[in-house]
Structure 1
Amino acid sequence: MSRRRKQQHRRPGPLGGRGPSRIGAERPPPSAAEVHQLLLMAARARPDQARMARAALAAAPAAVVVPVAEEVARETLVGLWASGWQPAEVVWQARRRRVAAGDAAVAAVRAGAADLDLARVHPAWRAQLDALGSPPAAAVVDVEALVELVSVLLALPPVEVLLPVPGRPDIPLAAVSAGAGSDGIDARVLEKVRALLAKAESTTFEAEAQAFTAKAHELMTRHSLEHVLVTAPEEHTDRPVARRFCIDDPYADARSHLLSAIAEACRGKAVLLGGLQMVTVVGFASDLAEVDVLFTSLLVQAQTALGQLARDSAPGSRERSRGFRSSFLRGFAQRIGDRLLSAGAATVADLDRSAGGALVPVLAQRRTAVDQHVAEMHPHLRTKRSAGPTDRLGWYAGREAADRADLPWERLGAG
């Protein structure tokens, strides 16, 4: 007669296998290979498995987890650079998830940059690295933040390669992005514009802020269109470029609408990168510089108007609700787009007359070039209708604020 052996109940080990049978026995720390597998599970497995992997990583000694997580982050970053990502974008995506993950991203990016020959790195790359600064000392040993960072990095999809990838001359560019020293704009004009915008953002007086913003608009508008006339004879050497914008919360979708409206008015085209809160704007370099300035200053004006509404409203009122504020920004974006297109057309007509009819044909050629470039970068691009405003009062309040926003293009056209 054979006897059936009783099965011993064993607790699961760190990777879901069978661990020691003695209750209360200490498990040995996971190996580097096991930590690597746990990191992949935390990023890519089903939610229940990801939670188990994160719990196992949290229970493991930091001295075991940190070196492996740093190595995985470093290797993943090398792949992300080759798939189009830039340093500031990676840090921004990590910081969207958690501030500490953003700090860990700064540490990882700067550690990887130590292996680069910065003399051979594109100026825009160097500018982004310089702007990152140094991470807090705690970011180097924060296990939870490192695990979060690895999860973010492993989830990022490929994007357009807009800048030369360090050490990878074999990777073709979708476009050389307008960057530090490469946007065709007079450095003295940019310096004046940035100074004016800094004053507009720092003042608490709305009239003063609008005056500073209006002057910045005027400088950029005139300079951009004059740049078109100057480069027209050499147009075959000028081609569209692209720049990605990271859209901050809250109300990122409404802010994207504002950016798209501005890009259209500046003879560019905006493409929303789904799920990433990023927008790629394609256009000529001088026009992209203008988009950047207009987006910054008009967003400041919209936020100022929203802040004034909040100060004039009682706590808990409709004007302070999320639906109202989101609808306000959507209404502001649509109305600003209408005004920019109308005022821009008048300004172009005025300068075209001054140039003896030379401006309009060049602008038409450049618009065709932009459309072709977008089609090449995004051959499967789809147009999707976005959700409408949820609060009609907020929508109309935003349109009224847009009517009050200062647009010097109208004055230029009238003059």
Structure 2
Amino acid sequence: MTEAARQKMVERVRGLLRMAEDPSVTDAESQAFTAKAAELMTRHAIAEAEARAERGEEPDAISRMDYTVPGVGGHGKARVRALADIAAAYGCQSAVRGNNSENTERVMILVGTVSALDALRMLMPSISMQMKASAKFMSSAHVSDIRELRNYTRSELETERKRYYRSFVRAYGQAVAERIREFRARLHESASSGEGAAGAAEGSQASARGADLVLRDDVHRVQEEFQKQFPQLRKHRPERTHSAAGYRAGYRRGRQADLGLDTPVTSGGTSALPKNE
């Protein structure tokens, strides 16, 4: 892809994300715009890998990026976990700075290829906005429903709302990450199948195999660089609060989000809620 073509693609992605973040569009329209932007970025990354493989060039450089995650409402850890799952689906690894205080900002340190970080830099704000809106709406609806069951105190309702919200956000991120991985896998399958004349098909398959090797190597290079930068990384304590209802709602919301425009993931795929959730 030439630099001019890349810039055209980037501008198209930014335009889609501006539409996704427009408060006048519906939730389904916002999700569809974001999904199309994610599709374009993913196709670009794979096309670039194929081109590098064909030209015998060095693989995409490994870099790092800081991303600030708000702790508003005491939900910072849940947001970090959701976004870390999404970043991992793009082949990145993450560490978190300041993940102790409940209401303060966290900084996610993402290590990945330049193309993956470019995609996340543009997509994560839009995905975060949609995740926040969905979690707020669904947790409010949940509290309204349980208020009708019996006389909960205001404190009990607030505690339940927070448990539901956090579980929803964690599951939403997991479901979106699954769909990203499925989409990337289907793009590879589509490229590997190669249609058309025999010679063209063989060339397409060779290109796809070359790209696959490059992307597999990217995973190892990212892991090595991450270990080099964070050799003694401590695992943060998982959140103790959990809401099965919130987890199920978040997971379904993430799985059922409209991906639009006939992308290879619109047909769903095989997935199920983890047991005991």
Q: TM-score, normalised by structure 2?
A: 0.73
Partner residue of 1:270?
A: 94
User: C-alpha separation between the residues in 1 aligned to 2:219 and 2:124?
Assistant: 20
Q: Aligned pair 1:218/2:39, yes or no?
A: yes
| 1:249 to partner: Cα distance | 2.3
User: C-alpha separation between the residues in 1 aligned to 2:255 and 2:60?
Assistant: 35
1:388 to 1:339, Cα distance in 2 relative to 1, 3 A: farther
| 1:412 to partner: Cα distance | 2.7
Give the letter for the 1:332 counterpart: Y
Q: Which one of the candidate residues 96, 118, 124 is aligned to 1:289?
A: 118
Once the two structures are superposed, residues 267-294 of structure 1 have per-residue CA deviations (whole angstroms, 9 ceiling, x without a partner) of 1111222446111111111111122333
| 1:367 to partner: Cα distance | 1.1
1:410 to 1:270, Cα distance in 2 relative to 1, 3 A: farther
| 1:349 to partner: Cα distance | 2.7
1:353 to 1:397, Cα distance in 2 relative to 1, 3 A: same
User: C-alpha separation between the residues in 2 aligned to 1:271 and 1:235?
Assistant: 30
1:388 to 1:192, Cα distance in 2 relative to 1, 3 A: farther
Q: What is the RMSD computed on CA atoms of the aligned residues?
A: 3.1
Q: Aligned pair 1:393/2:245, yes or no?
A: yes
User: C-alpha separation between the residues in 1 aligned to 2:76 and 2:213?
Assistant: 36
Partner residue of 1:208?
A: 29
Partner residue of 1:359?
A: 211
- Within a 5 Å distance, the mapping from 1:17-32 to structure 2 comes to none
| 1:369 to partner: Cα distance | 1.0
Matched residue SS, 1:398: helix
Q: Aligned pair 1:334/2:174, yes or no?
A: yes
Q: Aligned pair 1:258/2:82, yes or no?
A: yes
User: C-alpha separation between the residues in 1 aligned to 2:238 and 2:221?
Assistant: 26
Q: Does the CA contact (< 8 Å) of 2:28 and 2:257 recur in 1?
A: no
Q: Does the CA contact (< 8 Å) of 1:330 and 1:389 recur in 2?
A: no
1:390 to 1:283, Cα distance in 2 relative to 1, 3 A: same
Give the letter for the 1:240 counterpart: I
Q: TM-score, normalised by structure 1?
A: 0.50
| 1:206 to partner: Cα distance | 1.6
| 1:312 to partner: Cα distance | 4.3
Matched residue SS, 2:111: strand
Could you tell me the percent identity over the aligned residues?
A: 25
Q: Which one of the candidate residues 247, 259, 263 is aligned to 1:411?
A: 263
User: C-alpha separation between the residues in 2 aligned to 1:281 and 1:186?
Assistant: 23
Deviates more, 1:248-257 or 1:387-396: 387-396
Partner residue of 1:199?
A: 19
Q: Does the CA contact (< 8 Å) of 1:328 and 1:395 recur in 2?
A: yes
- Within a 5 Å distance, the mapping from 1:312-331 to structure 2 comes to 312=141, 314=144, 317=147, 321-331=161-171
- Within a 5 Å distance, the mapping from 1:5-404 to structure 2 comes to 186-202=6-22, 203-232=24-53, 233=55, 235-236=57-58, 238-250=60-72, 251-275=75-99, 277-309=106-138, 312=141, 314=144, 317=147, 321-354=161-194, 355-356=204-205, 357-384=209-236, 386-387=238-239, 389-404=241-256
Structure 1: segments with no counterpart, 5+ residues:
1-182
Partner residue of 1:42?
A: none
Q: Does the CA contact (< 8 Å) of 2:260 and 2:266 recur in 1?
A: no
Q: Does the CA contact (< 8 Å) of 2:67 and 2:108 recur in 1?
A: yes
User: C-alpha separation between the residues in 2 aligned to 1:342 and 1:316?
Assistant: 36
Structure 2: segments with no counterpart, 5+ residues:
100-104, 148-156, 195-203, 268-277
1:197 to 1:237, Cα distance in 2 relative to 1, 3 A: closer
Q: Does the CA contact (< 8 Å) of 2:69 and 2:106 recur in 1?
A: yes
| 1:241 to partner: Cα distance | 0.6
User: C-alpha separation between the residues in 1 aligned to 2:70 and 2:146?
Assistant: 24
Matched residue SS, 2:21: helix
1:363 to 1:353, Cα distance in 2 relative to 1, 3 A: farther
| 1:362 to partner: Cα distance | 0.9
